[in-house]
Chains A and B, each alone.
Chain A
Amino acid sequence: MNNLPGKTMRWLMLLTLMMPAASALAVSQIDTFEFADEIEQRRYRALIEEFRCPKCLNTNLAGSDAPIAQDLRKTVYRLVAREAMSDQQVRDYLQARYGDFVLYDPPFNARTWYIWLVPIALALLALLVLLRMQRAGQRAATALDAGQQAKLQDILAESARHPVQSSNR
């Protein structure tokens, strides 16, 4: 990468910076709903970003063109704007019908506990291994007994008498 001309490099960086913006544009579906105020609209936006489209594997309601996602956006609009539900009530409504799948944020329960606990366990394990490796390293560094010390002194003395020639001239 370093020997690319500066100009190309700059363009590449610019493209990389633009990528999130492009995907943000790509996922904004346009529905023509009317809201009483901006807060309501913002809540609707946040909710459709939050839920997962049941038909799609990894797209939220906001980002999907699937008919079911359109219907669920309509439903979220109805619940927020017409039935004045709170965000949590909307979440409960969708979860009751479509299950945990629609929530990107999986609940902690008998079926999902390991998703939450395994990373913590692995991190603790890694920390433990790291500590043990460090301690082992320290022990190796300090563990020269008297005999070894004497031998080391001999070697040092010997090399002082016959310095290693650093150059052949």
Chain B
Amino acid sequence: MSRASFYIPLAVFALIMGLGYIGFDLGARNQLPSALINKPFPEFNARLLDDAEQTFTRDNLLGKPAMVNVWATWCPTCLSEHGELMRIAAATDVVIVGVNYKDRPDAAKQWLAQYGNPYDWVLDDRDGLLGIEMGVYGAPETFLLNAQGEVVYKRVGDINPRIWRDELQPRFQQLGVSMSDDSADSTAR
């Protein structure tokens, strides 16, 4: 056995560890990539929560960058991110569209009355069909759309000050949304 071949088992071991690291990292749950990234937001036709006569389609999302937030009253994390959504709505010009996912409309209305409404529109997706079009597998999920209606970012999990500062705010700024929110680096809540 030559000296070099002495190291072969070690090299193979390192290779396997390396592959395992990459492989398990790809499988990280919070990094499950949306199939929609850099693709147009799907076509849909939804009713508004506060006015079932009115429909809202993909066209209504065009023209301005927007944040589409999937939420429900049965989702505890949605309540914990609600404060941050309220802050974003108050401090910036970001258009926020809520998708009330697999929920009871009366419960949703009461929830918004109680905790405040950060949304410019709330869509009624009580049967979860819009959710399936969007590839939603839980709530909360948040999609960031550019003015052309393409998905530029998706967050599975809550919106919090850190996610806003590190992920959302830089992207909105890049898309040219005006930020009266000068407390970008502050931890407002």
Taking Cβ atoms with an 8 Å cutoff, the residues of A that contact B are: 54-55, 57, 67-68, 71-72, 75, 95-101, 111, 114-115, 118, 125
Contacts and interface: CB of A to CB of B under 8 A. Distances in A.
Given A71-B128, A97-B35, A99-B33, A114 B19 contact: yes
Nearest to B19: A118
Contacts of A71: 102, 128, 131-132
Contact of B35 (A67, A68, A95, A125): A95
Interface stretch (B52-60, B61-69, B133-141): B133-141
Interface string B27-56: 001001111100000100000000000000
A55 B138 contact: yes
B132 A72 contact: yes
Given A68-B137, A95-B35, A99-B33, A75 B102 contact: no
Contacts of B22: 114
A98 B135 contact: yes
A97 B135 contact: yes
Given A114-B19, A115-B23, A118-B19, A97 B138 contact: no
Interface residues of B, number: 22
Contacts of A115: 23
Interface-centre pick from A55, A95, A97, A100 (highest chain B CB count, 10 A): A97
9 contacts: A97-B42, A97-B133, A98-B135, A98-B137, A99-B33, A99-B34, A99-B135, A101-B32, A114-B22
Interface string B120-158: 000000001001111111100000000000000000000
A98 B42 CA distance: 13
Contact of B32 (A72, A95, A99): A99
Interface-centre pick from B131, B135, B137 (highest chain A CB count, 10 A): B137
Contacts of B19: 114, 118
